[in-house]
Structures are given as C-alpha cells and as structure tokens.
Amino acid sequence: MSTPIRILQIIDSMMVGGAEMLLYEFTSRLDASEFKTDIAFCENGPLKEDFQKINIFPEKIEWKSRVDPFLVLRMYREIRRVKPHIVHTHLFKSDFHGRLAARLAGVPVVFSTLHSCNDWALNPLFGLGYGLTTVFADKIIAVADEVRDYAIKYSRIQSDRIITIPNAVRIEKFESIDHLGPQLRSEFGISSSTLLVGIVGRLEEPKDHENFLRAAAQIYRENANVRFLVVGDGTLRERLVALTDELGLSNVVIFTGLRKDVPAVMSALDLFVLSSRYEGLPVVVLEAMAARKPVVATRVSGVPGVVEDGKTGILVNPNDSKVLAEACLHLLADPELRTQMGTAGYERAKLNFSMDALVEKTINLYRTYLARHEVSV
C-alpha cells in the first residue's frame, strides 16, 4: 500500500474569508487515506478550530511585516519539519515567502493560488516582486480568468505559468435551508414581512461597506420596510458603525459580527449585495446563488463571470451608491423577478461552480506534477 501524498498548505490567516473558507472546504473533501494535509498560517482566527475538528492542526508562523526575510526562514523550518511532497500557498505573504522557502527546503512540487485582483499588484515593488517569485512555483492557479489576466498584466507572470481553476461552492450546504431563515430573523427581531438586504464579508477597505451603507440610506428613504444585515468583522467596524449613526440608520442596520452559519444568513435574506472595489471570484456570491438569492454586485474582477446581468442578478459600477440603491430597489419591488433570478443563479452555480469539480481539477494537477517530477509515494 502506497503512503499518502503529503501536502503543506500555507495561508496568511485563519480568519473567515473567501480564500480561507475555500481551503477549508477543499481540504475537508480530500481522502485521508490518499492525502495527508498540514497547514501553516501567519495570523490567528476562528477557522483554526474548524480545522482541528477534522483532525488537521494548523501551525502558526510568526511574521513581522508584509515582506519579511525572516519569514522565509521560519517557513523553511516548518517545511523541513513536515517534509511534504507538495507545498501550496495562498495570499500574498504566504505566496511571496513560501514559494522560495519551499524550493530552499527541496520540496518537489510547489503551487500558489491567486485569489483576487489585489491593489498591491498596482505597486511595482509588490506586483513585479510577486511576479518574479513565481519562478519558484510549478504553476500559479487563478480563481477566475479575470484574475489570471490581471496577474499577467500587473505582475508580469508568463501566461504559460498560470491556469484557471474557478472558485467553487458546496451546493449541498444550501439545500433544504428554508427553515433556517425564520430562526435567524427571529434572533434579530426581523418580521417575516420585512424585506431584508444583506452583505457578507470582512469589514475591510476592498469590500467597500461604505458604498453599501450609503446605498442603504437611499433604499430606506424609498422603502421604510427594509432592514439591512452586515455580516462579518474587521478593522473598519467602528468607522462603519459611526457612519451608520451619521446616516440615521442605527435602527435598521444590524452588525451581526462574525458568523459561521452562512446558509442561515442567506436563507433569511431577500437580496444579497456585494459592493466591493475589487475581488477575485467571490465565494460568497456563489453561496448566495446556491441559496437561490438574487444578487446585486459591483462589476469588478471575476464577478461578471459569475453573475449574469439581468438573469441571476444585476451588475453595477463600483463606487456608485446611487446606482447600487436603484438596482436594489428594482428587485425589492418585484418578488417574482427575485424568485426567477434566484432560481437561475442556483442552476448556474450548480452547473459551473461545484466543489467536486474544483477538487477533481486540483487533485489532477497535483498528480500530474508529482509524476512529472518523478515523485514516488
């Protein structure tokens, strides 16, 4: 009997974000008899406990700054301890330092996944520096074609070094969830007759919650029977709460904090909103579609490849709260259209963005490069 393929996944944090949740879902799907997974990370977060529940015990690696030469050494030590056949990195710190550390440690196969069209790539120091370090990887995986094109343009990654494996969602997690919505609404004192609009994501600059809140103010002026959920946490929470007060929305906007019951959140909503300035291929949009919810989203990065404008939702330009509000009001006034778009979104997510497809494509990539490097396990 062959020994399991040893994989070390290195990621920036254990926070609840798109990249982190995708790694969790992917890892939990691997056959433990064929794959032995270890995880290293830089910043603590609640997902560490979730991994521990599936018998994976992530190791924290200390870091000092976004670019930290000593982080390469610390990652090198962790890689030498684990002795993986494959190192797979995620997000800037882990990619930038982890690829070099893996090669120095003699790892046969190295991959990195690019999860977003990040602003840091526009800075030549970071963008070109990131691109130069991709020579240490066998392949770069982009979560959407738009992310691939962005990386080629701004990080100067050679086109033959980067492929697309689209982000995915576990459709089955969002089946038979109708009973969860009323429970969550009851928790926050929201009646079944009240329209509920929600946004889910880290309270950080790229998500542009300020745009969402300013749109919420316009929506509420037009329709007082609407409430708003802001699900997530982050460094901007205090500032966003202050803006909510300033806009006179304190009684209609609910900051839930971090929640792991995304199916319940989606079930409770009438409309899901993504107001981001930039993205990759946002998993949370796929989750909304899997829950049969219509989506109003900004036309950025990989979003147009997921949300079919006019069919599964409405796309609007970023940084325009007026247009964002108008799109939301249009859907809130038409329950039949919301149902049609929600159903179409579900069908699209199920057909094109299943987790089974992502797992299969990634495993095949692993096996291909292990064979190419003649790694026997």
Tell me: the pLDDT tens digits for 45-82?
A: 999 999 999 999 999 999 887 778 899 999 999 999 99
Strands in 109-114's sheet, in edge-to-edge order, are: 59-60, 35-43, 5-13, 86-90, 109-114, 139-142, 162-164
Mean pLDDT of 8-32: 94
pLDDT at 1: 44
Of 174, 147, 180, nearest to 163 (Cα)?
Answer: 147
134 lies in some domain: yes
47 lies in some domain: yes
Q: Are 42 and 28 in contact (CB under 8 A)?
A: no
pLDDT per residue over 156-169, tens digit each? 999 999 999 999 99
pLDDT band at 113, cuts 50/70/90? Answer: very high
Residue 275's contacts (CB-CB under 8 Å, 6 or more residues apart) are 199, 207, 208, 209, 211, 212, 215, 297, 298, 318, 324
Within this chain, do residues 25 and 149 fall inside the same structural domain, yes or no? yes
377 lies in some domain: no
pLDDT at 254: 98
How many domains does the chain fold into?
2
Within this chain, do residues 108 and 212 fall inside the same structural domain, yes or no? no
pLDDT at 119: 83
* CATH number, domain containing residue 363: 3.40.50.2000
CA dist 352 to 166, 193, 302, Å?
9, 33, 14
Q: Is the pLDDT of residue 294 over 90?
A: yes
Within this chain, do residues 139 and 245 fall inside the same structural domain, yes or no? no
- Alpha helix (H) ranges present in the chain? 18-29, 47-53, 69-82, 92-104, 124-133, 145-154, 180-187, 209-222, 237-246, 262-268, 283-290, 321-332, 335-352, 355-372
Q: Is the pLDDT of residue 106 over 70?
A: yes
pLDDT per residue over 329-368, tens digit each? 999 999 999 999 999 999 999 999 999 999 999 999 999 9
pLDDT band at 224, cuts 50/70/90? Answer: very high
Q: Is the pLDDT of residue 203 over 70?
A: yes
Within this chain, do residues 206 and 152 fall inside the same structural domain, yes or no? no
* Residue range(s) defining the domain that contains residue 152: 5-168+354-372
Q: Which two tokens stand for residue 366?
A: 């692993």
Within this chain, do residues 365 and 317 fall inside the same structural domain, yes or no? no
For the question of whether the overall pTM of this predicted structure is more than 0.85, the answer is: yes
Residue 1's contacts (CB-CB under 8 Å, 6 or more residues apart) are none
Q: Is the pLDDT of residue 124 over 90?
A: no
Within this chain, do residues 212 and 287 fall inside the same structural domain, yes or no? yes
CA dist 21 to 26, 46, 91, Å?
8, 11, 13
Within this chain, do residues 183 and 48 fall inside the same structural domain, yes or no? no
Within this chain, do residues 312 and 347 fall inside the same structural domain, yes or no? yes
